[in-house]
Structure 1
Amino acid sequence: MLQTENLNKIWLTLSSNSSLKKKVHGELERLFQEPTYQGWWKTEPRTPFELSLPDLFPTLKHVGFIDGARLLVKVNQIGFRLFVTDGAWVQSPMRVFPDPDEALVLLKHVEKKGLHTWADWVIDPAAGCGHTPLGFQGSAKRIFCDANARALTFASLNALINDLASEHCFGLLNDMNRKFPTPLRLQGKTLFLTNVPFAPAPDDSSLALNSGGGEHGADLQIASFELVKKFSEQNSVPVRACFLTWTLGNATSNEWEVPRLCQDIFPTAKIQWTLEQHDYDAPDLPNPAPLRSMLRHLARSQYVVKHENKNVEEAYENLADKLQAQGFTHIAYGFLDCEL
């Protein structure tokens, strides 16, 4: 695990040396295109990438992304932008989300809706390493927020590596549960890109901070709704939000918990719920997925803090019993589009 302090030092070094920053970008781009890296990357790796010829990447070694032959970060790409983040092998609750898949789904949805040209400001209240706000291809200014200082360090570093000007990108250490600080005032059309598919979790320690959403998986979804509502009340500007979310529900009655909670919080807003058919996370399961099957998948997924933990698997079985007793049969994955 590359320590947060060392990430901060890399950011400081690159922010004062544009030539070195350019070399880092070039070597990251070359590494990402390497066939051996691509083969490793496509396997949802749970161990770090080992370079056969690490000396071909002297700048990445120099700044600290490579130790010996081991790559200490995961390198992703969205469009022409490159990202460094934690890998799933980092067994810490503060691990930063490793994959760009959900960001790609959300950004494609936003572009389809034409919102990439609508927004003057983009806010991501749970940005992680910055995949979504920095991968956004529009001209809007971006605010990337997270409750994890490590995530903000990665996001700031990724903004720097991709030459996203500091006057257009702003980081904010902020807990969604506490809304935004009152002084945050913006002018212009504001789009919330809320990548919040937080999963049901039997406790606070089974999943990393970026993945667990309480027993129903809805705790941080609700917090994101309340945050957007508070912002809209404090700023007299057009506001739209795209929430990528999971939700418990009953497939027979077609009743879904998170869309209902969203409508309760925004009673006058125009809200649309759309299932998103995807194949990147649990391709063998349908959407909506049977509740117990999805919870078993989660218990063995890369999102758990400690892999192959029998206690976690047992806790998820117990959670499935509890949720089924409450009338839930399935878990669905999709978009909530909200126009305030």
Structure 2
Amino acid sequence: MLAERTKHVEYAIRDIVMEAKKLEKEGKRLLYFNIGDPVPYGFSPPEHVMKAFSEAALNPRIKGYAPSKGDPELLKAVAELHRTEEENVFITAGLSEAIDFLYFSLTEKDEYILLEDPAYPLYLTKARVYGKGPLLADYTDEDSVRKAIAGKKVKAICIISPNNPTGRVYDEKQLKAIVNIAGELKVPIFYDGAYDMLSFVPLPDFKKIAKDVPFIYGQSISKNFIFPGARVGWVVFHGEGLDGLKNSFEKLCNQRLSVNTEAQKAAVAAIKGPKGHIEEFKRELLKRRDAMAKIIEENPVLSAEKPNGAFYYWIRFDARMDDWEFVRKLMREEEIVSVPGSAFGSSKKHFRVVYLPTVEQIEEFGRRMERFASRI
């Protein structure tokens, strides 16, 4: 009865919650380290952003559809932020919708968008639904990238920095290598900047690095402004040769009608208002990251590269089991909810956690992981 493509729709980050809820019904008291949503962990959007949303919600004149391409005030704010023209900007229902638009527009069954391994799971699902499946490469190794693309019809290259799930921030040399390959292939780059204000190290200026290689830059208010429930993001087109893709995005915006009107007013306030919450948020994240780093360093079965941005830890485990068995066993025996590594790519020896919980909760995570390590 169902279309074949429905078999490819997966999202392990939330799928694991369904298993967790069953355990809670059995009396388990779980610690959730799986979903990258700051709000349940006590973080909140900046006050001026919430005020703008509330005022819009109470304004009877802001209750109709917004223009399909986006609220004019928000289009202007994004264009000014990126020093471009409004015609290059599209507002989307979170950056997730832009990812869907990208795959819908570019890929057929024998075509690919190159992804870093590991990659955010939504990209993997879209690659399976709209194309032949994900094409993955280690972006820290140029030879790995060139080997992955050999003989493949690559339509674009995706970069996520700071990265989900690794927290890695790509340096100028690494970004230049990817840009050069995109130039050789004559394909655009999709830069996922969902966490670009949450880098603990200076971010290279990608516009300068890209030079004449066209790229699409994506952002949202979900993580940088701690408002994932608003579902407001945007993409900005830079460079030549993207008119066909822009036209496709415009058609797709038209058919979905519009992004939430009130939430777009909150996004205007986010872009144009003060950004003081960013440094405070990052200070809190660094405390939690360092607490998690100490736990990993002291645990004999765990190892990881310390993240330089976002709020994720990509942890390798040393045990005679695959990632799903590890994650399920950890959930049943120590009541910790995490995400298996294979949800993000090829690794079956990693799992991902967030370090959004309090330092006290992270320390409890450490005690439970220590017990778990002694048994596996």
Report the TM-score, using the length of structure 1 for normalisation: 0.31
> Which is helix-richer, 1 or 2?
2
Which gives a bigger RCO, structure 1 or 2 (Cα 8 Å, sep 6+)? 2
